[in-house]
Structure formats: structure tokens, C-alpha cells
Amino acid sequence: MEYPFQDIEKKWQKIWQEKKIFNPLNKTDKQNYYVLAMFPYPSGILHCGHVSNYSISDAIARVKMMEGFNVMNPMGFDSFGMPAENYAIQHNSHPRITTEECIEAMHKQFDSVGFGLDWDREVSTCRPDYYRWGQFIFKKLYEKGLVYRKKSFQNWCEECQTVLANEQVENGHCWRCESEVTQKELEQWYFKITEYAEELLDFSKMIEWPERVMTMQKNWIGKSFGTEIDFVLENSMDSCLRRNDEGLEETGELVKVFTTRPDTIFGVTFMALPPEHPYVQRWLAAEPDNKPLHEFCHMVINEDKIERTAEDTTKEGIFSGKYCINPVNGDKVQIWITNYVVMDYGTGAVMAVPAHDQRDFEFAKKYNLPIKIVIQNKEHNLAVETMQEAYIEEGWQVNSAQFDGMENEPAKKAITDWIADKNMGKQTVTYRLRDWGVSRQRYWGNPIPIIYCDDCGVVLVPDKDLPVLLPDNVQVGKTTRNPLLSVPEFVNTTCPQCGKAARRETDTMDTFVDSSWYFARYADPKNDKEPFSKENANSWLPVDQYIGGIEHAVMHLLYARFIHKFMRDLGWVDCDEPFARLLTQGMVTKDGAKMSKSKGNVVDPKYIIDRYGADTLRVFLLFASPPEKDVEWSDDGVMGAFRFLNRVWRLIETYKDTIRKGLSYCSSGQDVSGQFKDLQYSTHHTVKKWLDDTEKRMQYNTAIAAVMEHLNNVTSIKEPNKLNEAELAVFARACVIIPRLLYPFAPHIAEELWQQLGNKHLIHESGMPTYKPERLIRDTISYVIQINGKVRGKMDIAPDTPDEKVKELALEVENVKKTLEGKTIHKIIVIPQKMVSIAIS
């Protein structure tokens, strides 16, 4: 007989909804607790990954409710983006319609799992009441000088008329139309996230973040210290002024290089520039007939970005015909245009030191460029003729003028100081992090609130005109170009400043912008005066516990931290970080692989819920592994969870009258023995373990295991209806704790059984379960006796036995005596309440 999970689950979902227990006010006399799992893209189909993620946040929320917090666990939808456009095309519909349908479907499906979500606070990024404030934030960023437009080379598909991300380029061809991808210089909007690079490296305000996420962000930001050195361009067209000992001096234009190895500056034998470098672009323009140069640059620029930046790509280059002067020794060095230097790191120019940099070495070998040793190995003398690879280890400075003989490490600083002193450069810091390009040539996204006027230039849309509404009358899929370009009533507008005809920006924002502040909107989701009020934001933020996949370790979490810090700087919110604690949960796999349609290994949660109930599915997913690890799907595992819940049901259903009677008896616990003493211990011990696992460790698999173990202890009592009063009191208390311990994981069955045992309140209203430490004291303690690290005996003795007596007793144990025969004891160590360790010769 299976327990009636279908009736129970519907019943309690209705009660929770009616009592609005998951719809917290912003201010109550309780302390606020904000738990948030990353909002989903509304695919319309609930999959096991959703159930797994939101089962974790739901468990946390319910534990915190039991603890007496005012808990917010909101839900919304990350509903802009490319997949919605594609979905609409497939279904011959419009993204607004299909997206809203999907949202409704998912809302229902989430409810069918019994998640305690605050739907009153639902946000959906594609709705004007939300994206309006995204545009507002864009404007604020712009006003603070954190938004700019920059021309840069992008993967461009002529056929689709859009920019492609690196991962959307397959072997140099567009992933969608398969036409060749070229590099096009385009104006794109950028957010100056690099302004916050330094603060984003500071993780000290997080209460608990996984080490590896912080490491990934650190690596991504990639701070490195080095020196910027100015090389003077020979025969340059323009000139610039430079300060020297005597005052200002006129020199040629400067080629600035960034290096982490200023100690090798005397070993520079050529300069390497990428074809994108502005000087190179200028030379190209000045020499339209220089065919080899044009061909080489064109080829490199249009090379697939991924391929070009792969380490094993062969280094290629061409001599530009230009020279520059090494400021430290006046050497005239050739300037080469190469494919191995990238424009957007450092200064986009490299001083090449083949003797001490492997890439430069390979390049110099290939093109027969000179190699000059300036760091000498202390043990084996290096010689240019015999070098097989660059020498990048430590050594003495040689051929380095006044620095000869110094060790190269201190020489780095000495040379930098000297260069700075001579105004030839300076110490500097460079980041790998680049500014955030937010322009997308796509329809289904948040319009950028910008108007272009021939007279006034770039003009922000005034606040009163926000939101810039995304027009609906777009033929999705009918055009391959940016769809907004084909909506004249959107494009054509008037300039807010001069009133003349003007046109709108047709790019939309990267959807990562939408997800960079939604957590704050939940605090005040219906505010139509501002993105959220400071009061409400401060009452909830930072998110106490954020939950999401590791795939968002860098992008989303870095962008959200950036925007949050910006909002803080605007005075909108006080805290420095948006997410105090972060849990990166694993994914649900089957046959060792992520569930996906293409692999055909998808399990439909709806089927499991219909057949075994939502509680079973949740218990299975939480029990299978700790939250941060992947869960391997197992049909047998689901059965195991179902069997467990059925056992709980049978126990309490069968004996509910007996248990209720037992609860009315006083339980002093002093008048039982044996099995019942053990059972009483089990009750208190299980609560202790459960509290530790749910509150401190957030390890739900072991919390559930503890409940299972306790259930085994309870069901080992035979014929409970024949117990005496004292025994029954213990038995009843052992039973009644089970629904409460099960509540965060299997809330429906828990509430039902709790009610059947005569309780009038909901479980969370009854507070956290507690245990009595004095009930954890056993009559006897089992000691293990180790000899040289091996277990040689056991003994059960009174817990308050003094250490000296414990030693004596241990030596009396039969097998211990035997093992010790004829041996000398070095040392006896007593670990109180646990073991005796004896070291012998």
C-alpha cells in the first residue's frame, strides 16, 4: 500500500498558499533572511535540474522559517535572450507570447513540487516594469562616465548582420547560417567594469564563498604588476613632448609597452605589434600600395579569434619597415607586425626579448632576428649559439650597463625606478579583465536608451520617456538583420534636446545586464518610482544565501557584483557585496552526463511527481549527494526514497493513537532501560546531528541519513501498543520528532503527519527541534583500545571513569593483555569518551 501522496501534496500546497506563509513583509518583528536561487530561463519545461536547485533553496528557506526568521525566497524569470527568439521562430509565434506562456507553465510546475516561493514578488526581465529600471541603471552608469562607445574588432556575420560571441563561431563560420565570419570594426557600448577591478578583487566582505569561485574570479581579473616603457618611434609623423633632466624635450611619438620583465629591457631586439594597433592601421592607410603588408594584416585580423589566440598556432609576422628606439640604450630596433600579440591586453605592444621569452624566442628563430642575453644563468653559462629555448629562470644581469652583476629579481625594481626617474616609463598595474561589451544586434533584449541626433550627437532618453518600449510588431525570423532596424516607428524619433528628427539605438543590452540587479528588485518589486527603495533594499540585502551553478562563477557573479557596487556608490543600498554566502550546486546527471535532449537521457520530473510524489523526488535529489556535488540519477534511488517515506507514513499512521497517548505521558527518561534508553538517546542524538547538518554544514544528504537511521531505531520497537507508560512516552517522542526533521526535505508528508498527531500549528510555527544535552549521556561508553594504531580490544565503562582508571581497565582487557605479553609499554594516551591508545616497542 502506497501512502496517498497526491491528495496530501495538493492539500498542503493549498494551505500554504492560503496562509501566505511564503509571502513575507519587508519589515516584521522577526529578523529577515533572504535565500535566493538563480532565476531560470523560462523554457516552459521543468527539468530535474530545476527541481534539484530549488529543492536546496526550499530546504534552506524552511529551516530558516523553523528558526524563526522572516524568510524571503522569491522567484522570477530571466526571460530576454536569444533562446526565446529561436523558440518563437520554431513555434511560428512571437517571443512575447511564447515567453509569457512558458512563464505561466513553469509557475504551475514549480507549484506542483511544493516550493515555498513568494510569487507576489515575481520579476520577469522582459516586462517593461522591470526593464525600465535596467535602462535607468544604464543611464546612471552613463552619467557617471562608466559607459562609453568604442570601435573594436568583432566577429561579424554579414549574412545575419550581427556580432557573434567567440563561442558562436565554428571553424570561422557562423553557427547559424554557416557563412564566413569576418572581423569588423564596430561601435559597441561598453561598461567600465575595469574601474572596479581593484574592488572586485577584494573578497573580504563575503561571509562564505567557495574558494574556487573566488580563485576563478581572481584569475579572470588577472592583476599583474609591471612596468610601462616608452619607446620612441623613428621618423614619426607627429611629435610629442617628454620631460627630461633639462626640462621638456621634443621626441617622436611613443610606442608604449607593458612588461612584467623590466630586467630584460637591455635584451630587446625587436618590437612586436598586432595588426589592430592604431599605428599599424595608420601605416596601412599611408601605404596603400604595400601589398604584402596589407595582405598579412588582413589575414591575421580575419583569422578566427579562438584559433589565433591558441598557444599552438604558429607565430607569424612581417617587418613593418619602421624602427623605434630602446630608451635605455638607444638601440634601434625593428618593428614587426605579428599574430601573437593581442591588442586588448596591456598596451597592445610587446618589447620582444627572445633570449628570455619563449614566444619571442620562437619568433626570432623563425625570422632570423637577433638574440641578446641579458640574464645569465649562475651555473651553466648561456650562449646564443647553443640556446634551444628562452631562459626564463633567475640569474645575473649582463649586458645591462650599470645593472650588470645584479641579481635579476632586485634589478626589476632598480631598472623600473631608474626608468621612471628618467621619465622613460613608470611602474604600472595591468588587468586581464576587459570592459564589458553590452551591445547586441538582437531583438529580444532590453533597448539601450540612447538617441542619435545629427546636431546634438549621442543623447540619453529622458527619465520621463522611460522605458523605451521594445516594439511588438517585429517579424521575428523574417529578417536576418537586427530586427529593430526594420521597425521605422521605433528607429525614427525626435531628439529630446533639439526636437529635430533623430534615430534610436537599435542594439539591445546583453541579458547579463538584466540579471545583474534582479536580486535587489525582489526587495521592492512593484516600485514604479525607482528601481527599489533604499529602505527595502537595506532590509533584505545582501542575499544571505545565494545558490546557483558553477557555470556562473565568473560572468554573472562578477557582473552582478560590479553593478551592485555601482548601485551602492549611487547610495541606493549600503552593503558592499550582493551575496554574503554562495553555494554552487551540482547538476543532475544520468549515465555520467548532463541530462540533455540531444543525449536522450532526460528524466521528466512530472512523471516522477505523478507516480511517487514531489516529496519522493525531493528526498531522492537531496539524499543522493551533498548540494555542491553532481547528482547521478537512479531509478532505484527514487524507489528507495519512496520506500523510506512509506515507512514513515506506515509507522505514524498505524500508531497515531498510541503515539498521541504516549505524548500525554510525562517523559522523565529516568525510568526506562535498555532498548528504550537507546531510543531516547537516538531521538536526542538525531536532533543534534540534524541541527548540525542543516544549520551549519548545509549537508542535507547526511541530515536525511540521520532521520533514516532514527526511523530504523524506532521501528525496531515491536508492538508499541503494549508498552508501559514510561516506555510509551519515550516511543511517542521518538516518533513525533520525525515529521519535524523531515519538513525541509519532504514538507507535504511532514505537515500531514504532524497534523495527524494532533498538532494545530504548522510545523515551522513550532520552532526548531531541540535536544537535551543530558539525554546524550550514556550509562556506559564504548572505548576502543588501540595498540600501535591497531584496534586490539573494546570495553564498555561508565562515562565518568577517570583517565587513570580507564588506563587500568584497558590493560585488563583479554585480547589487550595477550597482545602486550612480553612487550614494553612506551606511552598510554586516553582520548576521553573515545579510546585508549597504547604505544609499545
Tell me which residues in 534-573 interact with RNA (CB under 7 A). Answer: 550-551, 553-554
**Amino acid (1-letter code) at residue 338:** T
- Our finding on whether 244 is near RNA (CB under 7 A) is no
- Mark the segment that binds RNA (CB under 7 A) among 233-241, 517-525, 567-575, 710-718: 710-718
DSSP state of 337: E
H or E stretch at 230? strand 224-233
Q: Residue 288: CB partners within 8 Å, gap ≥ 6?
A: 294
Closest listed residue to residue 754, CA positions, set 773, 732, 739, 742: 739
Nearer to RNA, 533 or 646 (CB): 646
DSSP state of 245: T
Give the C-alpha separation, 626 to 742, whole Å.
17
DSSP state of 810: H
Q: How far is the CB of 13 from RNA (least distance, A)?
A: 24
Nearer to RNA, 132 or 305 (CB): 305
Q: How far is the CB of 554 from RNA (least distance, A)?
A: 6
- Mark the segment that binds RNA (CB under 7 A) among 364-372, 410-418, 700-708, 772-780: 700-708
Work out which of 624, 672, 729, 795 binds RNA, going by CB under 7 A: 624
**Amino acid (1-letter code) at residue 452:** Y
Work out which of 64, 132, 139, 261 binds RNA, going by CB under 7 A: 261
Q: How far is the CB of 305 from RNA (least distance, A)?
A: 8
Helix, coil or strand: residue 238: coil
H or E stretch at 831? strand 825-831
Nearer to RNA, 288 or 789 (CB): 789
**Amino acid (1-letter code) at residue 709:** E
- Our finding on whether 629 is near RNA (CB under 7 A) is yes
- Mark the segment that binds RNA (CB under 7 A) among 60-68, 129-137, 241-249, 702-710: 702-710
Give the C-alpha separation, 576 to 739, whole Å.
40
Could you say which residues in the range 744-783 bind RNA, by CB under 7 A?
A: 782
Nearer to RNA, 25 or 829 (CB): 829
Write the interaction track for RNA spanning residues 262-281; mark x where CB under 7 A is met and - where it is not: ------------x-------
Could you say which residues in the range 178-237 bind RNA, by CB under 7 A?
A: 211-212, 215-216, 219-220, 222, 224, 226
Work out which of 145, 571, 600, 789 binds RNA, going by CB under 7 A: 789
Work out which of 716, 721, 724, 780 binds RNA, going by CB under 7 A: 716
Ranges assigned E (strand) in 491-581: 492-494, 501-504, 508-509, 545-549
Could you say which residues in the range 353-372 bind RNA, by CB under 7 A?
A: 357, 359
Give the C-alpha separation, 115 to 503, whole Å.
46
396, 375 contact by CB (below 8 A): yes
Could you say which residues in the range 432-451 bind RNA, by CB under 7 A?
A: 432
Give the C-alpha separation, 8 to 649, whole Å.
12
Could you say which residues in the range 804-823 bind RNA, by CB under 7 A?
A: 815, 819
Could you say which residues in the range 286-325 bind RNA, by CB under 7 A?
A: 308-311, 313-315
- Our finding on whether 784 is near RNA (CB under 7 A) is yes
Could you say which residues in the range 371-430 bind RNA, by CB under 7 A?
A: 430
Closest listed residue to residue 819, CA positions, set 786, 795, 796, 783: 786
- Our finding on whether 26 is near RNA (CB under 7 A) is no
- Our finding on whether 636 is near RNA (CB under 7 A) is yes
What is the torsional sign of CA 432, 435, 436, 438?
negative
Give the C-alpha separation, 452 to 482, whole Å.
17
Work out which of 136, 203, 345, 452 binds RNA, going by CB under 7 A: 345
Q: How far is the CB of 224 from RNA (least distance, A)?
A: 4
Q: How far is the CB of 484 from RNA (least distance, A)?
A: 30
Q: How far is the CB of 763 from RNA (least distance, A)?
A: 22
Give the C-alpha separation, 499 to 491, whole Å.
15
- Our finding on whether 19 is near RNA (CB under 7 A) is no
Closest listed residue to residue 314, CA positions, set 257, 271, 363, 360: 363
Segment 810-814 long-range contacts (CB within 8 Å, at least 24 positions apart): 810/783, 810/785, 810/836, 810/838, 813/785
